Structure 1
């Protein structure tokens, strides 16, 4: 049986702020947007260049704040220029950690937090 991961769903409270984060800070593109006012939710699918996995943003109208929880850790994104992207994230309004390396090695990643509290690990492209 052939299987493939095709999407990851994130529930969001402020759809426009979240879209700004993923499309302006990163290079995700809106693949499709569907509104279901009768059911009080919207769906937005994001594509990341070079990946077939989509992020599905689910916006439930008038939802209480979501608890990301302690079981979910992060999403991972690779970039060709880690230091430049770190500077872009640090200059933004988003919570951005320091450059780090595994076991104190050469810096190879950092974390940035989206408007809903989901952490994104940004890694150097191998």
Structure 2
């Protein structure tokens, strides 16, 4: 059953697709891999990532054209995690660009792994893990 299985993508619903794409591409260094418009369903999909979909897990941003109010993020979703080389420099650069870093870099409470959290334009938490 699991032979050949692979995690393909994670989907987030966003209110302002351009603002979200700017956050993930300009500030977090992802690349827009593909974008499709679906006028009949009144939505747009944008797939972003650090490598080709053929061998990397990517992020799908879904923009529903008629959605004007914020999405309820709920309390079950936690975060998306991204491995980074120098977490202190990454967070310092993002803060200089006006990105909120609610959890500054440092060791996690019950371990030695160095982590930090930033917030995307829709309020989703992005965890950085120093690798």
- Residues 8 and 107 (structure 1), Cα distance of their counterparts in 2 relative to 1, 3 Å cut: closer
Relative to the length of structure 1, the TM-score reads 0.90
Instruction: Give deviations 1:70-102, integer Å, cap 9, x for gaps.
Output: 100100001111111010122122221312212
Q: CA RMSD in A?
A: 1.8
User: Where in structure 2 are the equivalents of 1:38-117 lying within 5 Å?
Assistant: 38-49=40-51, 52-63=56-67, 64-96=69-101, 97-103=103-109, 108-117=114-123
Per-residue deviation, 1:49: 4.0
Unaligned runs of 5+ in 2: none
The alignment of Structure 1 onto Structure 2 pairs a total of residues equal to 125
Relative to the length of structure 2, the TM-score reads 0.87
**Residues in 2 aligned to 1:71 and 1:119: alpha-carbon distance in whole angstroms:** 12
Secondary structure, counterpart of 2:109 in structure 1: helix
User: Where in structure 2 are the equivalents of 1:14-25 lying within 5 Å?
Assistant: 14-25=16-27
Unaligned runs of 5+ in 1: none
Structure 1 runs (4+) deviating above 3 angstroms are 104-107
